[in-house]
Amino acid sequence: MERRTFLKLVGLSSLFAEGAFRRLFAAPQPTVAVARGKDYARTTRSALALLGGMKRFVKPGDVVVLKPNMGWDRTPAQAANTHPLVVRALAEEALAAGAKRVKVFDRTCNDERRCYVQSGISDALKGMKGVELKFIENERFRRVPIKGAVLPAWELYDEALSADVFINVPVAKHHGLSRLTLGLKNVMGVMGGNRGSIHRHLDDALADINSVLKSHLTVIDATRILTDHGPQGGSPADVKVMDTVIASTDIVAADAYATTLFGLKPEDIPVTVAAHKRGLGEMNLKRVRIVTA
């Protein structure tokens, strides 16, 4: 074979093989764990177990941040906040894995005192040694350079950034603008400043934030989901019980899977698409290993 033909052949074949090569050399196929069951604490634990258990993420002495969605003055049954049992199970698992401290907080939309109480999370975590349910303190926001597609920089919460392990625990629910709010949108809870102003380019802005604040683990509470009038709902008619907890190290894949629970496709959610395009994770569920229990 002539040298030229050889080069052509190799060049062309690499074009075809590109996908295959990628799969071989790129990050291994992301896993999404899906657990179902009425006992939400146990369901959360089995989702974790499918991923290899909390010990895979939390090393002894770590400071762990759990970022549930508890932004609204709504009860657990109203599906606007992360279920308290899911949060508690994660806190217990983190402690069992040797975490030094587990911090739980959210920058709420309604009054933080009412949100923490009404969400049931305050009660659920009461008396747990090593677990702190904390109010946001403004002085802890720190301006972080992002150099993203739309956000050059933003004030982010120091305790979230400095945590050894950041566990993102959203509740799956409807949202008027982004259609759904899942893991990618849940990080808005550590944003300072006039965060409402990012709604004008929400998809790219959220991708920007998620590119600097990485969720080591995303656990989506879909024990019950809010199908309409999100993000705070209020009417039981909008709540659908799914008894599902989804966990993944790939936030985009977790969001993509959760989208299907609403009868939607991942590509229907612009935030998911934007994050995928930025290389923050896999949205094509065919390329995701889904394990169930």
Partner 1 sequence: MKRITSARISQLLFLVLFLVLFINTEYRGRDEINGAVNAFFRADPLVAAAYLLAAKAFTWLLLPAVLLLVATALLGRFFCGWICPLGTILDLLGGRFRRRGAPSLFTGNAKYWVLLPLLGAALAGINLAGLLDPLAILVRGLAFSLHPLLGDTTRGAWVGLYRVLGEGRDLLAPGYALIRDHVLPFRETAYPLAFLSALILAGVIGLEGCESRCWCRRLCPLGTLLGLAARFSPFNRRPEKLCADCRACSGLCPTSFDREILQKEECIFCMECAVRCPSARVRFLPGSPLAGEGPLLPQRRVLLGGVIGGLLAARFFRFRDPAAQARVLRPPGVRDEGAFLAACVRCGECMKVCLRSALYPAVLQSGVEGLYTPVLIPRLGYCEYNCTLCGQVCPTGAIPNLPVPAKKREVIGKAVFDRNHCLPFAKKINCIVCEEHCPIPAKAIRSRRVLDTDDQGRQVELLVPYVVDELCNGCGICENVCPVEGKAGIEVFAVKDRTPLREFQGPVPVEKGGDPYG
Residues 201-230 that bind partner 1 (CB under 8 A): 202, 227-230
d(CA 168, CA 241) in angstroms, rounded, equals 21
Q: Which is nearer to partner 1, 175 or 276 (by Cβ)?
A: 175
Q: Give CA 35 to chain center in angstroms.
A: 16
What length does the chain have? 293
Question: First-to-last CA distance in the chain?
Answer: 54
Which range, of 10-18, 168-176, 249-257, 284-292, touches partner 1 by CB under 8 A? Answer: 168-176
Residue 68 Cβ, how far from partner 1 at the closest point, in Å?
18
Which of 109, 133, 165, 217 is the binder for partner 1 (CB under 8 A)? 109
Q: Which is nearer to partner 1, 37 or 270 (by Cβ)?
A: 270
Which of 8, 113, 147, 265 is the binder for partner 1 (CB under 8 A)? 113
- Neighbour-count burial of 137, counting CB atoms closer than 10 A to its CB (0-12 exposed, 13-18 middle, 19+ buried): exposed
Question: Can residue 231 be called a binding residue for partner 1 (CB under 8 A)?
Answer: yes
Phi-psi domain of 6 (left: phi exceeds 0; alpha: psi -120 through 50; beta: other): alpha
Residue 35 near residue 46, CB atoms below 8 Å: yes
Residues 127-166 that bind partner 1 (CB under 8 A): 137-140, 158-159, 162
d(CA 159, CA 219) in angstroms, rounded, equals 19
Residue 153 Cβ, how far from partner 1 at the closest point, in Å?
17
Q: Which is nearer to partner 1, 82 or 232 (by Cβ)?
A: 232
Residue 46 near residue 193, CB atoms below 8 Å: no
**Which residues make up the interface to partner 1 (CB under 8 A)?**
73, 109-111, 113-114, 117-118, 122, 137-140, 158-159, 162, 174-177, 179, 194, 196-197, 199-200, 202, 227-235, 237-238, 262, 264, 268
